[in-house]
Amino acid sequence: MIRAAVLGSPISHSLSPLLHNRAYQVLGIAGEYSAIEVRSGELGTFLNSQSQEEWTGFSLTMPLKEEVLSFGFTTDQIALQSGSANTLVADGGTFRALSTDYLAFKNLLDISDNARVAVIGGGGTARSALAAVAKRVSGIDIYLRDLAKASRLQGAAPNTTLNPISYSDLTPQVLSEYDWIISAVPAGASDEIALSLARADLNLRSTHLVEVLYNPWPTDLLMAARFSGAQIIDGLDILVEQALYQIEIFTQRNFDFSKMRQELLKTGLIALHS
């Protein structure tokens, strides 16, 4: 039987239990996936309190994606490179850490090698996006509130030129100059630029916005970009895509990603609109 959970804080809003449990139903697999509140600094205590043989694995959300790398688990190269792991898999009495966030971005973002790309934010999810995008373009602009954090990001994209820019320089006109914009900031952090974009008379039909948040749903930035004609990949798309890889890993089953993606997107949308 599969026994898994998503760990993080806050966690009550998470759609992961709904999606994973629905996938187990579709696959005809006995499984239980729950949500457990684990705050920053508490991951080690939680893992030590559990019998590792009883768990198949864990999904990790903030603030644990960076914290988990300090425990010495075997970790895949991309998670080490990006400094962010969102998945723990039981492995012989211990755990193995990896990033299905990276796999989700790699699969969903069809970016050409001459595209102009901007990433907003510098946290774990942003670094996973950087690692995925860096293999396709030679340079990426990164908008940060604290430019001192820029030095931590180069490891996620060692062979790509990263251009740190102050978040205060981000305007609707600047946004319109990019082919791809990946917003990976906490809830509310992009509301100001969203308001400015909503007031601007811009055509963003050639721009793709990737919004990693699904709580709140929809974000103000997503709505403003969609109203301006931008092509959207939203937080539910990202959540489902990374979950598909976790489900495959936890269940050790091969399945049709396309069909399961449709089912989980439908399940998630019903929950978000209820």
Q: Which residues pair with 183 in a beta bridge?
A: 120, 211
Q: In what order do the strands lie in the sheet with 74-75?
A: 31-37, 2-8, 57-60, 87-91, 94-98, 74-75
Establish whether domains 2-98+237-272 and 103-233 are of one fold. Answer: yes
- In the Cβ-directed half-sphere of 242, how many Cα atoms lie within 13 Å? 26
Domain ranges of the chain: 2-98+237-272, 103-233
User: Count of H helices and E strands in the chain?
Assistant: 11, 12
Rounded to 5°, angle at Cα 150 from 140 and 80 = 85
Q: Is 89 helix (H, G, I), strand (E, B) or coil?
A: strand
| Full-model pTM | 0.96
Cα separation, 154 vs 160, whole angstroms: 8
Q: Is 152 helix (H, G, I), strand (E, B) or coil?
A: helix
What is the average per-residue pLDDT within 131-147?
Answer: 94
What is the average per-residue pLDDT within 127-152?
Answer: 93
Tell me if 243 sits within 8 A of 16, measured CB to CB.
yes
What is the average per-residue pLDDT within 44-56?
Answer: 92
Residues across the chain? 274
Q: In this predicted structure, what is the pLDDT of residue 149? A: 87
- What is the chain's alpha carbon radius of gyration, rounded to the nearest angstrom? 18
What residues have CB less than 8 Å from 215, skipping those under 6 apart? 13, 187, 235
Q: In this predicted structure, what is the pLDDT of residue 53? A: 85
102-138 exposure pattern, b = at least 16 Cβ within 10 A, e = fewer: bbbbbebbebeeebebbbbbbbbbbbbbbbbbbebbe
DSSP 243-262: HHHHHHHHHT----HHHHHH
Give me the CATH code for the 2-98+237-272 domain, please: 3.40.50.10860
What is the average per-residue pLDDT within 255-270?
Answer: 98
Q: In this predicted structure, what is the pLDDT of residue 178? A: 98
Pairing of strands 161-166, 94-98: unpaired
Q: pLDDT for 160-188, tens place per residue?
A: 999 999 999 999 999 999 999 999 999 99
Give me the CATH code for the 103-233 domain, please: 3.40.50.720
Residue with tokens 């539910």: 236
Q: pLDDT for 77-136, tens place per residue?
A: 999 999 999 999 999 889 999 999 999 999 999 999 999 999 999 999 999 999 999 989
What is the average per-residue pLDDT within 196-222?
Answer: 96
Q: In this predicted structure, what is the pLDDT of residue 110? A: 95
